[in-house]
Amino acid sequence: MHEFALIQKYFTDFPGDDSLVEGIGDDAAVMRPPKDHFLVQSSDTLVSGVHFPDDAPAGDIAYKALMVNLSDIAAMGAKPLWFTLALTLPEVNEAWLRSFSEVLRDLSIQKGVVLVGGDTTSGSELALTITITGAVKEGEQVMRSGARLGDEVFVTGNIGDGALGLALWQERIKSVVDAEPCLERFYRPVARTELGLSLGPLVSAMIDCSDGLFADLGHILERSACGAEIMLSSIPVSESLQSIASDDQSRTAMLNGGDDYELIFCAPASAKDEILSLANIHDCPVTQIGEITEASGLRVINDDGHELNVFESGYRHFG
Amino acid sequence: MHEFALIQKYFTDFPGDDSLVEGIGDDAAVMRPPKDHFLVQSSDTLVSGVHFPDDAPAGDIAYKALMVNLSDIAAMGAKPLWFTLALTLPEVNEAWLRSFSEVLRDLSIQKGVVLVGGDTTSGSELALTITITGAVKEGEQVMRSGARLGDEVFVTGNIGDGALGLALWQERIKSVVDAEPCLERFYRPVARTELGLSLGPLVSAMIDCSDGLFADLGHILERSACGAEIMLSSIPVSESLQSIASDDQSRTAMLNGGDDYELIFCAPASAKDEILSLANIHDCPVTQIGEITEASGLRVINDDGHELNVFESGYRHFG
């Protein structure tokens, strides 16, 4: 099947919106940017065998690819608007394409983000790059650099399930109990789109948890030129993680894991009530795990009050 | 070398401009869109062994990847603003990365387009996706759908060199004379950025020649619901093409070739003088090759006044 026919068949019945002046089918899409807003833009690539198993279902691949991009937009306190899809296929498998495009379309509709264009190419390795563009009111973008002394540190949801899902996929960990929730979290992470957008005006710094809590909070601290102290026992973990992983594995998943796509953010204490109220409205758990300190570096405090020795290593060292 | 270090070393010293609020280093870049403009956006992927030889120099790959994206923006009559780069690497080769990033940086500066973000991933196959965003005054975007009866049909530069370069690379054609100009054209195509932008208000429809003159002009005709008649002898070809290719090969390269990244456009006869004057200003040849007709379909008229039988096939059938 020729590229034009493939795009026509699977990617032209995605809905537009008022901001889309001209969609797929010309040299470029044409969009009307919202007034008095900045644009935010990010790209994420997923490669078969690297970011997902070679036999991952097409729908899971579509879901994850769009969600990890949405997560970056959420971490800016921005609203997603448009995305492009660059898809490299080793073969034209129509069942695969149907499933892939259906999930992508459903999720894009659910998240209110419009497919505006892209490219399909042949290649020996299945890979896809999504480039997403969002909008945030001028000057209200949430950067990693805004954390200040006295801020509290929060996370959404549970931390560590994504890394455990990855380890289960890679068979570095075997589970004797139901591992589905962690695998689901790895294959179908959930971007905190609505909460991220509403948190924008309240928080001082934000990042999404893709490389692990220790590394990602570390990015905030480095950019903000401050430190933080977090309590190990405060980090929210799922029942699945607790029942599948040993204490050591669990700690590694929580601190050095990744692929959670939860938000990590800092905010002044005065904003806490409103933050927890928003968490309630958006039905998304938010937990305070520590606070920003003047002393640089990230210290993790154990149950016994001592500092834990943690290496900033990201998911590669998990297992 | 870790992804962060790699990005830091090779991709953070690209210059910004007034529109770039925050560049590489956060969850997303932040940009200020120009007032009273629409945005145009396009993605193009190049895969090693498919779009360029496995042993193509890093600089040529960078050059071509950015140029083919710039060409899409030119074809909209728009000005390029920003691009993201998603790079998948089978290995971290620092000499390759240095050469790649230097050419990309130089070309982006020359073309006034700002690298705002991207992703680097590992994968078994070298591949890259550039997503480019440009701006055009509201309502002045040039679509494929605007050609009207009585319009004249023009092309920039020469047609066919890109396809001949591809055939020379694939060794489907062997040359006994100097093939460098055609190979150069294949490896380092030139987007008609400045001319495309200035043509915007004058032309009714425009496309860039990536799939071949017959197919690409065909896209305009289909979208504009009209036909065209072009004179074979009017199609501008290079001396290289004439000396390397047989008459048959030359005709195939001109009509069914691709990879030229010249502009094909339609404009009312009243605009011709101004178009030729702009061509002169921008030192870019523009040639009238035919005219839009009421009868649908694209007819190519041979030197003897008869219609040529051409199959709309794109570059795959060349050779």
pLDDT tens digits, B224-255: 999 999 999 999 999 989 998 888 889 989 99
Identify the pLDDT of residue B1: 66
pLDDT tens digits, B265-285: 999 999 999 999 999 999 999
pLDDT tens digits, B61-100: 999 999 999 999 999 999 999 999 999 999 999 999 999 9
Mean pLDDT of all residues in B219-226:
96
Beta carbons of A117 and B51 less than 8 Å apart: no
| Better-scored residue on pLDDT, B205 or B302 | B205
- Parallel, antiparallel, or unpaired: how do β-strands A114-122 and A79-89 relate? parallel
pLDDT tens digits, A8-24: 889 988 999 999 999 99
Beta carbons of A73 and B38 less than 8 Å apart: no
Beta carbons of A27 and B42 less than 8 Å apart: yes
How far B172 CA lies from chain A's nearest CA (Å)? 20
Same fold for the pair A3-137 and A144-312 = no
pLDDT tens digits, A194-228: 999 999 999 999 999 999 999 999 999 999 999 99
Q: Write the CB contacts of B200 (distance below 8 Å, at least 6 apart in sequence).
A: B76, B77, B78, B136, B137, B140, B141, B142
Pick the CATH number of B144-312 from 3.40.50.300, 3.90.650.10, 3.40.50.1110, 3.50.50.60: 3.90.650.10
Beta carbons of B33 and A30 less than 8 Å apart: no
Q: At what angle do helices B213-224 and B247-256 cross, to 10 degrees?
A: 40
Which of B51, B33, B29, B52 is CA-nearest to residue B118? Answer: B29
Q: Which residues of A touch B129 (CB under 8 A)?
A: 43, 45, 86, 119, 129, 131
- The amino acid at residue B141 is Q
Q: Which residues of B touch A76 (CB under 8 A)?
A: 26-28, 30
ipTM for this prediction: 0.93
From A72, A134, A143, residue closest to B22, measured CB to CB: A143
pLDDT band of residue A157 (cuts 50, 70, 90) is very high
pLDDT tens digits, B101-127: 999 999 999 999 999 999 999 999 999
Q: Which residues of A touch B31 (CB under 8 A)?
A: 38-41
Which of A144, A255, A127 is CA-nearest to residue A203? Answer: A144
How far B237 CA lies from chain A's nearest CA (Å)? 24
pLDDT band of residue A172 (cuts 50, 70, 90) is confident
- Which of A2, A24, A27 to mutate against chain B (most B CBs within 10 Å)? A27
Q: Is the per-residue pLDDT at A47 higher than 90? A: yes
Identify the pLDDT of residue B179: 80
Which of these ranges, A32-46, A293-307, B3-17, has the smallest mean pLDDT?
B3-17
How far A224 CA lies from chain B's nearest CA (Å)? 12
Q: Which residues of B touch A143 (CB under 8 A)?
A: 22, 26
Strand order in the sheet with B127-137: A20-22, A29-31, B37-47, B127-137, B79-89, B114-122
Q: Write the CB contacts of B222 (distance below 8 Å, at least 6 apart in sequence).
A: none
* Torsion, CA A229, CA A232, CA A233, CA A239, rounded to 10: 140
Asked whether the beta carbons of A291 and A152 are under 8 A apart, the reply is yes
Identify the pLDDT of residue B313: 43
pLDDT band of residue A1 (cuts 50, 70, 90) is low
- Which of B32, B43, B130 to mutate against chain A (most A CBs within 10 Å)? B43
Measured in whole angstroms, the distance separating CA A33 from the mean position of its chain's CA atoms is: 24
Identify the pLDDT of residue B12: 85
Beta carbons of B26 and A143 less than 8 Å apart: yes
Asked whether the beta carbons of A235 and A310 are under 8 A apart, the reply is no
Domain-by-domain residue ranges, chain A?
A: 3-137, 144-312
From A31, A32, A42, residue closest to B27, measured CB to CB: A42
Identify the pLDDT of residue B311: 61
Say which CATH architecture domain B3-137 belongs to.
2-Layer Sandwich (3.30)
Average pLDDT in chain B:
92
Q: How far apart, in whole angstroms, are the C-alpha atoms of residue A98 and residue A95?
A: 5
Identify the pLDDT of residue A311: 61
Q: How far apart, in whole angstroms, are the C-alpha atoms of residue B183 and residue B168?
A: 7
Beta carbons of A84 and B45 less than 8 Å apart: no
